Amino acid sequence: MNLKRYCILLLTAAGLVAPLSAAAANCPALLDHSFQRLQDSAPQSLCQYQGKVLLVVNTASFCGFTNQYEGLEAVYDKYKDRGLVVVGFPSNDFGDQEPGSNKEIADFCRTTYGIKFPMMAKTDIAAPKTHPFYKQLIAKSGAAPKWNFHKYLIDRRGNTVESFNTLTAPDSRSLIAQIERRLAEKP
Query: N- to C-terminal Cα distance for the chain?
Result: 20
167 half-sphere exposure, CB direction, 13 A CA radius: 0
Catalytic positions, written as ranges: 63
b/e map 79-109, b = 16+ CB within 10 Å = beeebbbbbbbbbbbbeebbebebeebbebb
Q: How far apart are CA 76 and CA 155, in angstroms?
A: 15
Could you tell me where the beta strands, DSSP code E, fall in 60-169? 84-90, 151-154, 161-164
Distances in Å between the Cα of 46 and the Cα atoms of 100, 119, 161 are 24, 11, 15
Q: How far apart are CA 122 and CA 131, in angstroms?
A: 11
Q: How far apart are CA 169 and CA 158, in angstroms?
A: 23
Residue 53, beta-bridge partner list: 84
